[in-house]
A and B are shown apart, each in its own frame.
Chain A
């Protein structure tokens, strides 16, 4: 027996922390940390739905796997972009002025 309040609150808290991180960080790499936290919140929610017995086709286990895979792919591409930007501009500060002109 498990109470569902815990997973739900944990998911909310993780998403909230992730959003706060996305909004607060200027470092492009650390922005990804926030995104990972938001995604992990969604994992908790999906698995909690499965634990409550409310899923079909084992979606509660399969979809988290998909999410993890997509997140890995996203991180790979994002870090590639970050490296390119760092190489071109010498900084990964998101607030650096005229970012658009430098990249193009």
Chain B
């Protein structure tokens, strides 16, 4: 067990515990905040795996933008302070969901674990290489993605816009 393994285990445990609490807590705001913890854990894991750029973008985009969006949405939908009793689920549903999650995790693990044959030396990919590839090989998907973002922006505005009381659109 190398130092990398130990660091990965620490951040992995952080991610799993954060994810577990994000899924199970009854406070809606807490769920979003625990998601932040889980994502930070994931970012740590990615750092340990040697993908600094991805980890940074994860923190910036997810923690900085997505989670803030989620919190805004919660506030706009009048999330209660304290336990969200209006959306509580019965024990059978909780157990069923847990079993479903366990089954999924087990299925994936049963496929992936046989592939992990021993320790490997980490492949170093520098940010320069990533940039080269991103604007070389992957440039068309990258441009498509920018279109997608634009479409999402316009679409979100259109959908969320308060309907015109005058009815000029019709």
Contact = CB atoms under 8 A, between A and B. Distances in A.
Q: Do chains A and B touch in the complex (CB under 8 A)?
A: yes
Interface string B122-161: 1101000110111001100110010011011101110110
A99 interface: no
Interface in A1-24: 1-21, 23-24
A48 to B, nearest CB: 6
Contact of A72 (B61, B86, B132, B134): B61
Contact of A44 (B45, B50, B74, B118): B45
A2 B65 contact: no
Interface string B33-67: 00100110010011011110110011001100110
A71 B57 CA distance: 12
A73 B150 CA distance: 9
Question: What is the predominant secondary structure among interface residues of chain B facing chain A?
Answer: helix
A43 B61 CA distance: 14
A93 B28 CA distance: 13
Interface of B: 1-2, 4-5, 8-9, 12, 15-16, 19-20, 22-24, 28, 31-32, 35, 38-39, 42, 45-46, 48-51, 53-54, 57-58, 61-62, 65-66, 69-70, 72-74, 76-77, 79, 84, 86-89, 93-94, 96-98, 100-106, 108-109, 112-113, 115-123, 125, 129-130, 132-134, 137-138, 141-142, 145, 148-149, 151-153, 155-157, 159-160, 162
Interface of A: 1-21, 23-27, 29-30, 32-34, 36-37, 40, 43-45, 47-48, 50-53, 57-62, 64-66, 68-77, 79-84, 86-87, 91-93
14 contacts: A7-B49, A13-B105, A18-B23, A40-B39, A44-B42, A64-B58, A68-B58, A71-B62, A72-B66, A77-B155, A83-B77, A83-B160, A86-B76, A91-B86
